[in-house]
């Protein structure tokens, strides 16, 4: 297995792990807090906004690391 394949495998596993953690720690408690289907649908939609914000923060942090790495090291 090449180094690039290992990198892709680790990235995919961490992506799946992060999505499972988001569902377990954010989505499931939010859904179980409400009883009506319309409220649950609203919670899922709002949770997707939270997920998008977390992904955006991760992308920005990753880009900052990539661009600043040569200057720091």
Question: What are the DSSP calls for 33-46, one per residue?
Answer: T--SHHHHHHHHHH
Q: What is the pLDDT of residue 56?
A: 98
CA distance readout (Å), 40 to 48, 61, 72: 12, 31, 46
Instruction: Compute the distance between CA of residue 32 and CA of residue 21 in angstroms, rounded to an integer.
Output: 16
* Whole-prediction pTM: 0.78
50 Cβ contact partners less than 8 Å away, ≥ 6 residues apart: 26
Mean per-residue pLDDT of the chain: 96
CB-based contact 31:43 (threshold 8 Å): yes
Confidence of residue 72 (pLDDT cuts 50, 70, 90): confident
Residues 11-35 have a mean pLDDT of 96
Tell me the pLDDT band of 57, cut-offs 50, 70 and 90: very high
């Amino acid at each position: 297995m090449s180094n690039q394949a290992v990198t892709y495998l680790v990235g995919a596993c961490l992506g799946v792990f992060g999505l499972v953690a988001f569902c377990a720690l954010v989505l499931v408690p939010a859904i179980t807090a409400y009883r009506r289907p319309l409220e649950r649908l609203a919670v899922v939609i709002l949770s997707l906004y939270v997920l998008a914000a977390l992904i955006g923060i991760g992308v920005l942090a990753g880009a900052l690391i990539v661009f600043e790495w040569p200057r720091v090291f």
